[in-house]
Structure 1
Amino acid sequence: MTVFKTLTSGVSLMAMLVAGAAQAQSLDEITAAAKKEGALTTIALPHDWCGYGAVIEGFKKKYPEIAVNELNPDGSSADELEAVRANKGNTGPQAPDVLDIGLSFGPAAKEEGLIQPYKVSTWDSIPDAAKDADGFWYGDYYGVMSFIVNTDMVENVPADWADLMKPEYAGAFALSGDPRSGNQPLMSVMGAGMAMGGAPGAESAAKGLEFFAGLNKAGNFVPVAGKTGTIAQGATPIVAAWDYNALAWRDTLAGNPKAEVIVPASGTVAGVYVQAISAYAPHPNAAKLWMEYLYSDEGQLGWLNGYCHPIRFNDLAKRDVIPADMLAKLPPAAAYEKAVFPTLEQQAAHKEAVTAGWDATVGVKVE
């Protein structure tokens, strides 16, 4: 298994583009060329997702000479790639320059020739497991599986997956949906399986299914899709969810009921999104400058403010550049140091085994 860890530290936005492979332009040259292009076209970036509204405004403030054109804010990763395909020869406003896509879409886009390589100046502080070695795509932010707990109902907050087996959690724990049809519950099963000693893939599926079968037999597993409403009502006092969702739900509950978000002590599984530049970007230098901004400390902290853990989080934490008030809203930084990023192959093997074995092993449908 690959563990998220800091590879380097202390790289500034104004550094030269060294990133493991020679770059033809310095950042000053890219900035000048981007200002000459005068525009950047993004796609599928809703302002309430990962703090993107503030991130986009931060880029505009830093580079007022570059107009930001936003396409299809609520689009999917598949929609983004289709926009690149449909606009290969188009230099107009419907052609995206940059992409923010799910991990599995990065290698697929590279294979199809839809994206181009670029290594940002902070390249070395992006974990190897979360980037393409040639720079075609690279992780931008991630979530780790967590527990959100209604502390008005649960006196002792569980610290790890194994704790959920305790009798005091009878009828308390739920997934966010059915693991055979949703990625978030599917990866919850992986986290539990890893905590039980299984490597990501077929092993995590086997161990995870065994764990949930035991949890169901003990009467602790609630086959209801957990969300803010069920947490507030007490139907699902403990729910496994990506931390950025759990933290946002906590804020939505606004103390009614009180809620706490915990990253389990083991089985710390992470899910990552990636950035890429379109192979047909009408504004290639503005695209590079956008990437430099996103992977600078300022850009990374913008995502963190929206509860999405920036890919360079460990580097930021090590250098003590994360504001105290921002950290206070999050689980302890140490909880993220053990985050594991499963490969696409491991995720596929896990999904296949869970989908095939859930009925026979666990025997309940989550609705």
Structure 2
Amino acid sequence: MDQLVAAAKAEGQLTTIALPHDWCNYGEVISGFKAKYGITVNELNPNASSADEIEAIKANKGNTGPQAPDVIDVGLSFGPSAKAEGLLMPYKVSTWDEIPAEAKDADGHWYGDYYGVLAIGVNTDVVKEVPKDFSDLLTDTYANSVALAGDPRSAANALMAVYAAGISTGAAGGEAAADAGLEFFKKLNDSGNFVPVDGEAAPIAQGTTPVVLNWDYNLLAVRDNLKGNPPVEVVIPQSGVVAGVYVQAISAYAPHPNAAKLWMEYLYSDEGQLAWLKGYCHPIRFNAMSKAGKIPQDLLDRLPDAAAYEKAIFPSLDDQNAAKAAVAAKWDTVVGANIQ
């Protein structure tokens, strides 16, 4: 670690991409890393999608300047595909053994960092009747109200929201769940309930998108940051509880490879994992840290009702890839909504 710290400090900078400060408490994570190691963090396009992150690596293969990302944080399906394209540098952090085998590449090209479940966020100043499940969203109560947090053809959270909607109808998974989810959003769009706007914090607060499907940790962070103005309620749906794992990786073309490795060591340390948990993201080492008594009770008490998570399913990578292909191919023809 001493040698790695010295090498990273000599590089002097780390370039990240797609890390909004209210996503998984990344604001505190980034400031903690900077304070601990005195390394500048260059933050590119905080609201970029997983697909944008991959394209940024491709577009900057020969560029050592400030537009070349050193590290990425992407949806699970993007890890193996980026590895297959030769875009990732293998690296195993010192806490590697505490990352579940099913959530990492055996060779260290990508590794799970945190997970959450798809939830429903509601601005209760605008929407008085809080939905309890996906099926509720199809009723007249939610006219011109429901949005995704991104485009499901490129953003992992939006893709998995479509998938979760399909699972809630009883679909088995994979392409079947995607097809059912597309039909769900067709109904939502045809009825006038779907709002084709990226439902981030501002449009939730403004009432443009008063009902948003997104990861629980994003919606809980929005709720906390708005501090009741307006009030936001976060609901884990009664059916279709779908969990999603995100993964970290280092660009094979990283201009600052040692800073990138040090960043990974920080993220997978107890300090980094607990910082994510403060942002309501279940860190990938959660079970191991819990068994070791490393998670403060006050953090556990801030999480939503644990019983709601007992229903969660973790789609396999094959299921996700099948869903991703189906949604990318059929969204325009089935749903026909262009998300702005």
1:310 equivalent among 258, 283, 287: 283
**What residue number does 1:19 align with?**
none
Question: Residue 117 of structure 1: CA displacement?
Answer: 2.9
**What residue number does 2:25 align with?**
51
Q: Which has the larger Rg?
A: 1
Distance 1:84 1:348 in 2: 26
CA contact (8 A) 2:277 2:283 kept: yes
Q: TM-score, normalised by structure 1?
A: 0.70
* Equivalenced residues, count: 328
Cα 1:86–1:161 change in 2 (3 A) is same
**What residue number does 1:70 align with?**
41
Cα 1:134–1:215 change in 2 (3 A) is same
1:122 equivalent among 89, 95, 99: 95
Cα 1:313–1:361 change in 2 (3 A) is same
Distance 1:210 1:105 in 2: 25
**What residue number does 2:61 align with?**
85
* 325-334 vs 134-143, greater mean Cα deviation: 325-334
1:100 equivalent among 72, 81, 90: 72
Distance 1:129 1:142 in 2: 13
Cα 1:271–1:80 change in 2 (3 A) is farther
CA contact (8 A) 1:144 1:271 kept: yes
Alignment of 1:274-285 (within 5 A): 274-279=247-252
Q: Which runs of 5+ in 1 are unaligned?
A: 1-30
Deviations 1:260-315 (A, max 9, x none): 11222332334443223455778766654443331122111112334444223344
Deviations 1:125-163 (A, max 9, x none): 323332112222102234432100123454553333244
Letter of the structure 1 residue corresponding to residue 271 of structure 2: E
Cα 1:95–1:355 change in 2 (3 A) is closer
1:273 equivalent among 239, 246, 268: 246
Deviations 1:289-348 (A, max 9, x none): 443331122111112334444223344456554444444554234444554444554334
SS at match of 1:85: coil
**What residue number does 1:258 align with?**
231
Letter of the structure 1 residue corresponding to residue 193 of structure 2: F
Alpha carbon RMSD of aligned pairs, Å? 3.9
Cα 1:328–1:363 change in 2 (3 A) is same
Letter of the structure 1 residue corresponding to residue 28 of structure 2: A
Q: TM-score, normalised by structure 2?
A: 0.75
Distance 1:222 1:284 in 2: 43
Percent identity, please. Answer: 52
